[in-house]
Structure 1
Amino acid sequence: MDKSWMEKRRGTREYFEGVNQFVEFAAPSARNGKILCPCVKCVNLLIQPLNVVREHCWASGMLKNYKVWNFHGESAAATPATECGSSHVQETQNPYGDFHGMLHDLCPPHEIPPEPMEEGPTAQRPDEGPNDDAKKFYKMVDDVDKPLYEGCTKFSIFSAIVVLFQLKTLCGWTNKSFTLLLQILMDMLPSDAKLPKDHYEAKKIVRDLGLGYEKIHACPNDCMLFWKQNVNLEACPCCKASRWKTNEASVASKHASSTKGKKKAAKILQWFPLKPRLQRLFLSPDLASSMKWHVNGRTDDGVMRHPADSDAWKMFDSKHLHFSSDPRNVRLGLAADGFNPFGIMSTSHSTWPVMLVPYNLPPWLCMKRSSLILSLVIPGPTSPGIAIDVYLELLVEELRELWDVGVQAYDASSKEVFQLHAALMWTINDFPAYADLSGWSTKGELACPSCAVKTES
């Protein structure tokens, strides 16, 4: 099909007829009379009726870089390279992953309520632009289709950045070494290659994929978090300790009334929000199906192969029918302990990661490293001890919301939106960490949590 009309000015007869041809081409792939809308505002994220798609493309314009209509029934291999300058990128980047599919896993298409459409088509609101999420998605779609440099047939801009960052993670490269690699590649590749100049720029791009975290300042004595109503405090109201690092240089600059330099927090908690990570478990069709294994795939023959076979799990199901009625609701285990990230260089340092395990998955998946969810990284240099509950406040609040209200998620296996709930089933730790997490002292007369006052020795 001739797609030269996509380069024409909107309002011309060629563009008008071209949009009609596109809608006729996409009609056989419609479900219930609706397809993904490729206009510059919906960017293949919203499912709209065919007549609305036609109006959107007439009024707002169709995505310029959407030359291979792979979301509307066209195969990339079926499009001649002379007709679509980016089709060869689509064909040759399969060995490194389906990057178009990756974007739709991150931003799954969804339908919008019909009421707004009854008020009038988008053509009547030409000044309304795409929201921030749509703009990010539009930019990433653009980078998926653009080759890394003119004539490159193996990598697009997007795939090159993702593959390089994946290698950095798998091989344990430092940030400095990654920046040096990018600088060398920029010298090796043609001058029009679109690579980030350093690790910081690459990290900003990867963050748009939903892999970021938040930094929460903490009292250096573990009294509280500078969060919510305390976010603007300069010192801890409990122990009066300063929120910021203090040294001779900072004291001297303070006396000199210097405004230069940036304050550094004395202690920073790294928080990886749980909700988007649980939502992501259902964005891949295969993984979404595996998240229902404990109901649909488990063999119930009395043999203990998985926590779902335990009496505790079954008792929980019978007690909370509103939760167990949907197999997609997530059962979590929490594991926490301290470790020394510096090896033998420092024997006193203790950093505490808090991990979550999704037990909906089958036993061969739930304990894989790729399935574990990092929730918190509690900084050292000392163990938080019983003050760990200060840091767990973030996770506890999320878990309460996930139990009471839940969060809207998209199930890619059944192609439907549902309300996702989660429950923390148990904690996993050694005996000293048990004391910190539970509040039960594991020292002294009542050290055993099972025997308690019946302890004989």
Structure 2
Amino acid sequence: MDMEESVNFKDISHAPPKNTVTTSLQRKFTKNTVTDIFTKNLGSLVGYARHENDVRDHVTCNGFVPRADKLSELGIHFEREIPTLDADELSNQDDLDDDLVGLLHDARDAFREGPNDEAKKFFQLLEGGQEELYPGCKTHSKLSFMIRLLIIKCDHKLTNGAYADIADLVREAFPDAKLPKSFNEAKSALKVLGLNYTKIDACPKDCMLHWEEHANATSCHVCDTPRWKSNDTENDTPLENGKVHRILKKILRYFPIKRRLQRLFMCQETASNMTWHTSGRENDHLLHHPVDGKAWKEFDSLYPKFAEDPRNVRLGLATDGFSPFNSMSIAHSTWPVILINYNLPPWMIMKPEFLMLALLIPGPSSPGNDIDIYLQPLIKDLKELWEFGLETYDSSSNQRFDMREALMTTVSDFPAYAMLSGWSTKGYFACPDCHYDTDSERLDFSKKNCYRATRRFLDPAHPWRYNKRNFDGVIEERSEPIPLKGTDVEYMLRDFPNEFGKKQKKTRGDEDDPVLWRKISILFQLPYWKHCSNRHNLDVMHIEKNVFDNVLGTLLDIPGKTRDHESARRDLVKMNIMPELQPKLVDGREVFPRSRFLMSLEQKRKFYRVIKNSKLPQGYASNISRCVQVEDRKITGYKSHDAHFMMNYLLPIAVKTTLPKDVATPLIRLCGFFKGIWSKTIDPRHLDRLHSEIVEALCMLERIFPPAFF
């Protein structure tokens, strides 16, 4: 118990505010037990003794919170400590059934009030920055103007020299302005905010980081690639301080997360929102937030100590590649790694100011399977936060606590899923949930793998399981595959030899003996990761856009995007299914029958007009009408959010007005499924219905579209 204030038993009769320690002690122990233990030790702390009976009464009635205001009046100042109880003394307490030592540690934590050193520096920066930019300035403080100027520099890509020139101009116009003279001086002033980043040199072939024990290495210890672009000293650039500048081949930028997590608790409003999942939500048994899900509750049951303090942070990890250049013709892929704070309420989780950029992995190519190399600094901090915690000041309660953290899940598209999980999402066993039980087949003419065995996900008594004629000619008696648990994966890969870097081509195996795992993910270094039941999530908007592109290209018969092409029809002959769509020889010429979903020219125009003439609420979606050319019969230039809106609202109307009922019905049900999982609130009792809806819709689509569609 770090008692940073002094104790005066003369004024202890003034009852302090009720506190959690007193309540916990009085609940767990009998009155005699508490007083017997503490009266033996408290008297010696101040050098001022009171009668044992008086101390017993004061402790029992008023608890152990000191009166700091009275102590300062009396001039009593000293460091207080928890009375030390040895093992013999504890063992003699026969009436104690609880862990007294653990309770004393809880009491110690509760007495750590007031800001810690890190918080004091932060508040000093804020207090110092509140001074006027110049005498009489009412619009900006020194701190706000400095931050605004830095934001302008970043947004407009100004150089450090340009920033210094602007600062000089401001000082010339306002001689009394308190402004840093250079960009480096401004960065030093804001260093307390903890928004800096660390540059870590990396092997250009993604083999290793020049970090920790390899910090001074001049070349990669795996592939011997030099650290710098040139080792020729003639090309080095000498600096004014006598050092030599060398151009590095690849640099990872790591944005440390510890201090940024601490900042969330230094603002009272944000600190109170960090415990919303415990104190601010209504428990209506609906799914509004990850806290309402099964994975969160299972994690709490496995780690009750972590769940005791609602301030412990739960994070998600998301990553994807993007081109930092405006031109998409440049092949470059930079990968940001972003952390999502699940402690916050739903309306704040996805706000840009609460998404934390943790890593910026440079291009020009995707890190692929070697992303684990770049995740090492982040995983190290996550492990330390889980195992040791970090002393953090909570401004909403004016207390310090040991903040711990858990990474609950990842969110990515399907290719990034393979990078993070280690499971290959290509080939015959592409489905991570079905894993070794994935049912797929190779289309010889289309040169693709298709995944059509949807009937195994139906109810065991469903009549479609026995419908051979309308499906693939066999009865489906298999059950639904069971996803692998984290403990199963860890056991399977306990001896897996991880090899990173692009020094050699990885073996992929063959159809009879495939190599399905590419690595054991670095996420398994987190002690709790194997017990997370929802380790990896797929980004719905990515999937929705891919499905929409697939449906739109096939329905409108767009060249290059349709899945109903000549090769797909020839695959039907090889598979001996869907005879009504198989090509036929007429006068020595191959003729392809018309499919049920193929639209006439007038139907296509009607389809396009439905989308083009739709009236959308302001700000709900972009101007979709600009993407539609009715006469040219094209829909181009729409973004992911546009595809989401069209899939949820416009496509059901368009197909209902242009296609036969037996074709439109499964497509409408497919759109309804996406709309259902996009809801802000989901009733868990409806999840089984959503599951059965999508399975039946896919089975109906199997009877209409060729296998290449899947």
TM range (shorter): 0.5 to 0.7
Cross-structure match for 1:189: 174
Match of 1:157, as an amino acid? Answer: K
**Does structure 2 conserve the Cα–Cα contact (< 8 Å) formed by 1:317 and 1:324?**
yes
Structure 1 residue 326, shift from structure 2 partner: 1.1
2:150 aligned to 137, 150, 165, which one? 165
Cα distance in 2, alignment partners of residues 359 and 134 from structure 1:
27
CA distance in 2, matches of 1:135, 1:316: 35
| Structure 2 match to 1:355 | 338
- From 177, 191, 213, the equivalent of 1:207 is 191
Instruction: Answer yes or no: is 1:393 the counterpart of 2:376.
Output: yes
Equivalents in 2 of 1:403, 1:140: separation in Å? 30
1:110 and 2:114 correspond: yes
Name the amino acid aligned to 1:413.
S
- Contact preservation (8 Å) 1:435, 1:442: yes
Using the alignment, how far apart are the partners of 1:212 and 1:331 within structure 2? 23
Match of 1:414 among 397, 409, 415: 397
CA distance in 2, matches of 1:314, 1:335: 22
Answering whether residue 185 of structure 2 is matched by residue 228 of structure 1, we say: no
Unaligned runs of 5+ in 2: 1-64, 79-111, 441-710
Pairs within 5 Å for 1:18-417? 33-34=67-68, 49=72, 110=114, 141-142=127-128, 144-145=130-131, 147-150=132-135, 152=137, 155-168=140-153, 171-172=155-156, 174-175=158-159, 178-190=163-175, 192-246=176-230, 250=232, 252-253=234-235, 261-344=244-327, 347-417=330-400
SS at match of 1:395: helix
Q: TM-score, length-normalised on structure 2?
A: 0.44
Distance in 2 of aligned mates of 1:165 and 1:433: 33
Distance apart, 1:333 and its partner CA: 0.5
202-211 vs 222-231, which moves further: 202-211
Aligned counterparts of 2:285 and 2:384: Cα–Cα separation in 1 = 34
Deviations 1:313-332 (A, max 9, x none): 11111121111111111111
Change (3 A) 1:455 1:396: same
For residues 75-98 of structure 1, what are the alpha-carbon distances to aligned partners after superposition, in whole Å with 9 as ceiling and x for unaligned? Answer: xxxxxxxxxxxxxxxxxxxxxxxx
1:340·1:346 contact (CA, 8 Å) conserved in 2?
no
Could you list the per-position Cα deviations for residues 138-168 of structure 1 after superposition, in whole angstroms to 9, with x for gaps in the alignment?
A: 68755544x4345555544334313433455
**Mapped pair 1:437 → 2:437:** no
- How big is the shift at 1:175? 3.7
Identical counterparts, % of pairs? 45
Q: Are the equivalent residues in 1 in contact too, given 2:252–2:361 (CA < 8 A)?
A: yes
Decide whether the 8 Å contact of 2:200 with 2:253 is kept in 1. yes
Contact kept in structure 1, 2:119 and 2:393, CA below 8 Å: no
Instruction: Report how far residue 375 of structure 1 moved.
Output: 0.7
Which shows bigger deviation, 428-437 or 262-271? Answer: 262-271
Where 1:110 maps in the other structure, the secondary structure is: coil
Per the alignment, do residues 52 and 442 of structure 1 end up closer, same or farther by CA in structure 2, a change over 3 Å counting? Answer: farther
Query: What amino acid is the match of 2:192?
Result: D
What letter matches 1:189 in structure 2? F
Q: Relative to 1, partners in 2 of residues 1:439 and 1:416: Cα closer, same or farther, differing over 3 Å?
A: same
* Equivalent AA in structure 2 for residue 246 of structure 1: S
**Secondary structure of 2:186 counterpart:** helix
Quick one: distance in 1 between partners of 2:331 and 2:148?
A: 37
In angstroms, what is the RMSD of aligned CA positions? 3.3
- Give me the whole-angstrom Cα distance separating, in 2, the residues matched to 1:332 and 1:135: 26
Q: Which amino acid aligns with 1:350?
A: S
Aligned to 2:98: none
Residues 19-62 of structure 1, C-alpha deviations (whole Å, 9 max, x = no match) = xxxxxxxxxxxx96548xxxxxxxxxxxx95677999xxxxxxx
- 1:337-393 per-residue CA deviation (whole Å, 9 max, x = no partner) reads 111001216521111100000101110011111111111111111111111001101
Residues 234-271 of structure 1 deviation map (CA, whole Å, 9 limit, x = unaligned) = 11111111111228xx56447x9xx7741232211111
Read off the aligned partner of 2:114 and give its amino acid letter: H
What CA distance in whole angstroms lies between the structure 2 residues aligned with 1:223 and 1:203? Answer: 33
Residue type of the alignment partner of 1:188: A
**Contact persistence 2:336–2:361 (CA under 8 A):** yes
CA contact (8 A) 2:115 2:398 kept: no
Return the alpha-carbon distance in structure 2 between the equivalents of residues 430 and 276 of structure 1. 29
Cα distance between partner residues in 1 of 2:341 and 2:400: 20
Q: Within 2, Cα distance between the matches of 1:387 and 1:423? A: 23
Deviates more, 1:265-274 or 1:354-363: 265-274
SS at match of 2:193: coil
- Summarize the Cα distance change of 1:183–1:440 in structure 2 as closer, same or farther, 3 Å threshold: same
CA contact (8 A) 2:276 2:344 kept: yes
CA contact 1:215–1:268 (8 Å) conserved in 2: yes
How far 1:172 sits from its partner (Å)?
Answer: 4.5
Q: What SS does the aligned partner of 2:359 have?
A: strand
Task: Note the alpha carbon deviations across 1:263-300, whole angstroms, 9 max, x for none.
Answer: 23221111111111111111111111111111111222
The change in CA–CA distance for 1:302 and 1:380 in structure 2 (over 3 A counts) is same
CA distance in structure 1 between the partners assigned to 2:76 and 2:356 by the alignment: 39
Are residues 110 and 245 of structure 1, via their aligned partners in 2, closer, same or farther at CA, if it must alter by over 3 Å?
Answer: farther
Structure 1 distance, partners of 2:235, 2:164, is: 32
Note if contact 1:175-1:199 (Cα within 8 Å) is conserved in structure 2. no
Measure the CA separation in 1 of the matches of 2:295 and 2:311.
19
Contact 1:388–1:436 (CA under 8 A) maintained in structure 2: yes
Number of residues of Structure 1 aligned to a counterpart in Structure 2:
338
Distance 1:173 1:109, change over 3 A: farther
Structure 2: how far apart are the matches of 1:321 and 1:234?
A: 46
1:230, distance to aligned residue in structure 2 (A): 1.0
Tell me if the contact between 1:337 and 1:354 (Cα under 8 Å) persists in the aligned partners. Answer: yes
Secondary structure at the counterpart of residue 145 of structure 2: helix
Distance, in Å, in 1 between the alignment partners of 2:186 and 2:172 is 17
Alpha carbons of structure 1 residues 165 and 33: separation in structure 2 relative to 1, 3 Å: farther
Distance 1:347 1:280 in 2: 38
1:310 partner letter? G
Question: Which of the two has higher C-alpha Rg?
Answer: 2
- What is the TM-score with the length of structure 1 in the denominator? 0.66
* Cα drift, residue 173 of structure 1: 5.0
Partner of 2:614: none
